[in-house]
Amino acid sequence: MLEVKNLQAGIEGAEILKGLDLVVKPGEVHAIMGPNGSGKSTFAQVLAGHPGYEVTGGSVTFEGSDLLEMDADERARAGVFLAFQYPVAIRGITNAYFLQSALNARRKEQGLDELDTLDFAEMLERKLEEIGWDDSLIHRAVNDGFSGGEKKKNEILQLAVLEPKLAILDETDSGLDIDAVKDVAAAVEKFRSPERAFVVVTHYERILNYFTPDFVHVLAGGKIVMSGDMQLALELEKKGYDWITEAAAV
Amino acid sequence: MTQALDVGSAAERYAAAFEAFANNGAGSAPAWLKERRERAMARFADVGFPSGRQEEWRFTDVKPIARVPFTLAPAPEAHGITAEAVQPHLVGGKPGHAAVFVNGHFAPELSSLDRLPAGVTLDSLRGALERQPDLVQEHLGRHAADERSPFTALGTAFTSDGALVHVAQGVQLDEPLQLVFLAVPGEGDSYLWHPRILAVVEDGARATLVENYAGLGEGAYWTNAVTEVVVGEAANFDTYRVQREGNGAYHTATTHSQQGRDSKYSLVTFTFGARLSRHDITAVLDGEGADCTLDGLSLLGTEQHTDHHTTLEHAQPNCTSWEYFNGVFDAKSRGVFTGRIIVRPGAQKTDSKQTNNNLLLTEQARADSQPQLEIYADDVKCTHGATLGPIDEDHLYYIQSRGLTRDDARALLTYGFASEILNAVSLDALKSDLDARVRGWLAGRAGGSVTG
């Protein structure tokens, strides 16, 4: 589904990713772990198409298409979704209206009929029921005045509605207490399927206890320096990152 | 001829026009009104058209108004306006209680005033001068100060027609009272009118007023409106103002409100039209515990220019005011906002918040925002904030990352910005009219639209 080869990218002249390789198949969950400044968030943003990052080398293929040639909105309509670490507020636009607009943009691309407000409201209600969340967020302006936890939940709600093929979670657990991490991870778990892949970018392993990855990769100095399974994440939790980054530096 | 001479001769032109007006059309007015007019004309003759050298007029050049040889619009003998033409300018397309004016002249045949409940007056000013002369005399020209603006003075000088709104003590009125000022530009002449509105909501009463100004043609004309609002003790008055003058129009306006103890007054104003508009809003909180809300949305394009000059005067303790103005400026349009907050000595526990946000959709669009705080009491809370600039790239990216094209993301963000003010409209039918207008405006721009 996703093939990243020797990806090099940076921002404002500074090279951050220095030859990253990753292959993600449908149904797989990949965790990307690493110390601060290792390039985790850069990787997430480059996949989503942030215009501020410059790709200087390598390739990214998504379902056979050159992802790097596509604008952020084209990627989204093709089925790529990024849950932001810092979602922005959109004043004056309710969550429900925003979600409906986003979903219809995707449906139009897929040649499906756009959902009217009533059909959309029914669909949204079903989704909320599925995750077990109430509708308290949906009539508020998007992320406007939301707490940190509400913003993260809102990203997951968008994921639930947009049903992407590839979902990238960028530090979705950061700033959340343990109950909120469980709550969010349990919601994400509901959308795990043989067709859908996840890339979970995180500093800490705790979210992975509730959303177990098939693969764990350690990113350091702009490259993946070690890969393994959940055991690797647990080891990182115990020993920190230093032993890996030191080994990689040798 | 230099520009200064040009503008100077304009003041003389209006002095001559006043002579003719005083001798002919306005001859039947009561003595007190004649006197007030004359005093106002003397004031205008004294100061003339404002110049860019004056602080209050620094960003708005009114020479284009002074240069056009406007003449007072004659009473249209057969204006050709039908009820169907009026309908789009009524709240929800329904007549309700509406006084309709054509080129500043009351048009009874287009108005619907026969279902007014007891205790509620909605009348032409001419009619009111005959039917409720004492009430008009008590308030007309007593609140909006001619010294504040030359255009207020000019409006007072030429006071002839307009409307009286009166809601008697304790009367609770749900249905909005509507004033519709339709403009039909002259074929060859450039017309001018000075609508005068007096709204008095007595103690404990509750009412809603919608002022609508709409142009039915592209030609040049000038509306110079003065609205005086008196809100009695514990009264509640919600007002809306929609300015959709024609592309060739000039629009100057004064709104002055005076509030009693524990009263609530709100004004939500929408500026869509006119090539040049200036609105001076002065709200005086003159009774303890009064609350005032001023909201505004400007949505301009081409080379349109608008200037909102607001003054919130806290004259008594324990009053609250809230002001929120958003401007969206496309093409080469320009917006000016001045937000003055005055807290008089003794007006302790004043709580006042002012916000002015401006969205510039092109590099040629421009906005100027200036807060002016004059605080003469020590136990007050006054905050103000202003923003101006293009749409934020991070916001565009976030929305694009959900699948909307860049153009649609821009439209959505602009719509959200406008919605902040649309949401202040509590009359559902009016809100939906305005919402459609905002969407239409967005659709009329190149690229991007909002649906649903």
- In this structure, are residues B290 and B322 in contact, taking their beta carbons and an 8 Å threshold? no
A76-123: pLDDT as tens digits? 999 999 999 999 999 999 999 999 999 999 999 889 999 999 999 999
User: Would you state the pLDDT for residue B452?
Assistant: 54
Chain B: give the shortest CA distance to residue A245, in Å: 32
User: Would you state the pLDDT for residue B75?
Assistant: 84
Please tell me the total count of domains within chain A.
Answer: 1
Domain presence at residue B363: no
Chain A: give the shortest CA distance to residue B400, in Å: 4
B2, pLDDT greater than 50 = no
| Torsion angle defined by CA atoms of residues B430, B435, B440 and B446, in that order, rounded to the nearest 10 degrees | 150
ipTM of the complex: 0.95
What mean pLDDT is predicted for residues B340-346?
97
Instruction: Report how far residue B62's alpha carbon sits from residue B194's, in angstroms, rounded to the nearest whole number.
Output: 17
From chain B, the residues in CB contact with A162 under 8 A are: 402-403
**Which residues have CB under 8 Å from B13's CB, separation 6+?**
B69
Closest to B49 measured CA to CA, from B8, B1, B18? B8
Chain A: give the shortest CA distance to residue B394, in Å: 8
Identity at B413, one-letter amino acid code: L
DSSP calls for B97-143 = EEEEEETTEE-GGG-B-TTPPTTEEEEEHHHHHHHSHHHHHHHTTTS
Does B398 lie in the same domain as B269?
no
Domain presence at residue B351: no
Q: Which of B226, B254, B287 is the endpoint of a domain?
A: B287
Query: Which stretches of chain B sit within 8 Å of chain A by CB?
Result: 392-395, 397-406, 408-409, 412-413, 415-420, 423, 450-452
Name the 3-class secondary structure at B95. Answer: coil
Does the distance separating the beta carbons of A50 and B397 come in below 8 Å? yes
Report the side by side order of strands in the sheet with B97-102: B105-106, B97-102, B177-183, B206-215, B236-244, B264-271, B291-300, B320-329, B351-360, B381-389
The range of the structural domain enclosing residue A34 comes to: 2-249
User: Would you state the pLDDT for residue B189?
Assistant: 87
B300-328: pLDDT as tens digits? 999 999 999 999 999 999 999 999 999 99
B171-205: pLDDT as tens digits? 999 999 999 999 998 888 899 999 999 999 999 99
Please tell me the total count of domains within chain B.
Answer: 2
Domain presence at residue B61: yes
Does the distance separating the beta carbons of A162 and B450 come in below 8 Å? no
Burial of A150 (0-12, 13-18, 19+ CB in 10 A): middle
* Structure token digits, residue B139: 């308030």
Does the distance separating the beta carbons of B400 and A71 come in below 8 Å? yes
Does B195 lie in the same domain as B61?
yes
Of the listed ranges A42-51, B2-11, B34-43, B232-241, the one predicted with least confidence: B2-11
Does B264 lie in the same domain as B133?
yes
User: Would you state the pLDDT for residue B4?
Assistant: 41
B329-340: pLDDT as tens digits? 999 999 999 999
B251-278: pLDDT as tens digits? 999 999 999 999 999 999 999 999 999 9
What mean pLDDT is predicted for residues B217-235?
96
pTM of the model: 0.91
* Distances, alpha carbon A176 to alpha carbons A56, A237, B169, B409, in Å: 34, 17, 56, 29
Does B281 lie in the same domain as B402?
no
Instruction: Report how far residue B18's alpha carbon sits from residue B355's, in angstroms, rounded to the nearest whole number.
Output: 40
Does the distance separating the beta carbons of B404 and A102 come in below 8 Å? yes
Identity at A218, one-letter amino acid code: V
Domain presence at residue B116: yes
Q: Which of B238, B266, B287 is the endpoint of a domain?
A: B287
Instruction: Report how far residue A209's alpha carbon sits from residue A189's, in angstroms, rounded to the nearest whole number.
Output: 11
Instruction: Report how far residue B263's alpha carbon sits from residue A235's, in angstroms, rounded to the nearest whole number.
Output: 67
Instruction: Report how far residue B255's alpha carbon sits from residue B252's, in angstroms, rounded to the nearest whole number.
Output: 10
The range of the structural domain enclosing residue B417 comes to: 392-452
Which of B393, B403, B420 has its CB closest to that of A91?
B420
A68-89: pLDDT as tens digits? 999 999 999 999 999 999 999 9
* SS3 sequence of A1-60: CEEEEEEEEEECCEEEEEEEEEEECCCCEEEEECCCCCCHHHHHHHHHCCCCEEEEEEEE
Residue B80's pLDDT band (boundaries 50, 70, 90)? Answer: confident
Does B282 lie in the same domain as B401?
no
Query: Which stretches of chain A sit within 8 Å of chain B by CB?
Result: 48-52, 71-73, 75-77, 81-82, 84, 87-88, 90-93, 97-98, 100-106, 109, 114, 117, 141, 158, 162
Domain presence at residue B337: no
Query: What is the CB neighbour count within 10 angstroms for residue B289?
Result: 19
Q: Locate tokens 């509406």: which residue? A: B98
The percent of chain A in helix, strand and coil, each rounded to the nearest 5, is: 40, 25, 35
B247, pLDDT greater than 60 = yes
Which of A51, A105, A114 has its CB closest to that of B397?
A51
Q: Which of B231, B253, B287 is the endpoint of a domain?
A: B287
Domain presence at residue B178: yes
- In this structure, are residues A161 and A100 in contact, taking their beta carbons and an 8 Å threshold? no
Domain presence at residue B446: yes
Residue A101, sorted as left (phi over 0), alpha (psi -120 to 50) or beta, turns out to be alpha
A242, pLDDT greater than 90 = no
What mean pLDDT is predicted for residues A126-148?
91
B349, pLDDT greater than 60 = yes
From chain A, the residues in CB contact with B391 under 8 A are: none
Give kind and range of the element (H or E) at residue B265.
Answer: strand B264-271
From chain B, the residues in CB contact with A141 under 8 A are: 416
Does B403 lie in the same domain as B254?
no
Does B216 lie in the same domain as B97?
yes
Which of A51, A92, A102 has its CB closest to that of B402?
A102
CATH code for the domain of A94: 3.40.50.300
Report chain A's mean pLDDT, rounded to a whole number.
91
From chain B, the residues in CB contact with A71 under 8 A are: 400, 406
Higher pLDDT, A136 or B280: B280
Query: What is the CB neighbour count within 10 angstroms for residue A55?
Result: 15
- In this structure, are residues B209 and B171 in contact, taking their beta carbons and an 8 Å threshold? no
Name the 3-class secondary structure at B91. Answer: helix
Chain A: give the shortest CA distance to residue B236, in Å: 26
From chain B, the residues in CB contact with A104 under 8 A are: 451
Does B230 lie in the same domain as B98?
yes
